[in-house]
Amino acid sequence: MTPETNTSVAADRNKGLILEQLCRLLPEDATVLEIASGTGQHVVHFAAALPRSSWQPSDPNPDYVLDAATRCDASRLRNIHPPLQLDVHQHEWRVADEFDAVLCINMIHIAPWSATTALLAGARRVLREDGPRLLVLYGAYKEGGQHTSPSNADFDLSLRARNPEWGVRDLEDVERLAADQGFKRGALVRMPANNLLLVLQG
């Protein structure tokens, strides 16, 4: 790996835990679009563990797209497509295929609320009709308008201090928006460090 390639400590910490859930959720030959891939650590880990699957990483930040491309190239994995620069707010997501699943890790709280709306609408468009049509969201959430831990409350304050449009979202608000796009809850998995893995099916 080149010295210029960034590494996320959080991604290294949670990638194995998320993979355990993906192994249960995804068909072996799943085609998956990852939104907000960041440094590419997640997609390389998942693609290596699920060799029959096919992965399309993406990120709106060109620096992260470069990081992910470097990491994916170094992995020599053939089931990862070149990372795309993709902002969920784009009216049309310029992807080459339709997918069985869309995966988004730790984006919803580090983005304006409009990104959640755009993510749900875009996922509905790119999920293929004859597939499982899964949207998998991982991150911190409030439930019933309340934080699930003091650490999540502190995290929310730090996010809003950085950008008033960011913040830990209410799970019920996300599910209401999802229902508007034809998604319903398939599963809710409580993960370590007060995170949730929300599986939506459309």
What's this model's pTM, rounded to 2 decimal places? 0.94
DSSP one-letter code for 59: E
Instruction: Average the pLDDT over 127-149 and give the result.
Output: 96
Answer yes or no: are the C-beta atoms of 16 and 43 closer than 8 Å. no
Domains contained in the chain, CATH given: 9-201 (3.40.50.150)
Instruction: Average the pLDDT over 8-26 and give the result.
Output: 91
Report pLDDT digits (tens) over 174-188.
Answer: 999 999 999 999 999
Higher per-residue confidence, 190 vs 13: 190
DSSP one-letter code for 76: T
Alpha-carbon span 6 to 17, nearest angstrom: 21
Report pLDDT digits (tens) over 92-133.
Answer: 999 988 999 999 999 999 999 999 999 999 999 999 999 999
pLDDT at residue number 4: 57
pLDDT at residue number 150: 96
Query: Residue 169's CB: how many other CB atoms inside 10 A?
Result: 20
pLDDT at residue number 9: 79
Alpha-carbon span 162 to 145, nearest angstrom: 21
Instruction: Average the pLDDT over 139-161 and give the result.
Output: 96
pLDDT at residue 195 tops 90: yes
Percent of the chain with pLDDT over 90: 92
Instruction: Average the pLDDT over 136-152 and give the result.
Output: 96
pLDDT at residue number 6: 80
β-strand pairing of 134-139 with 169-170: unpaired
Averaged pLDDT score across all residues of the chain: 95
Report pLDDT digits (tens) over 50-97.
Answer: 999 999 999 999 999 999 999 999 999 999 999 999 999 998 999 988
pLDDT at residue 8 tops 80: no
Closest CA to 32 of 83, 101, 95: 101
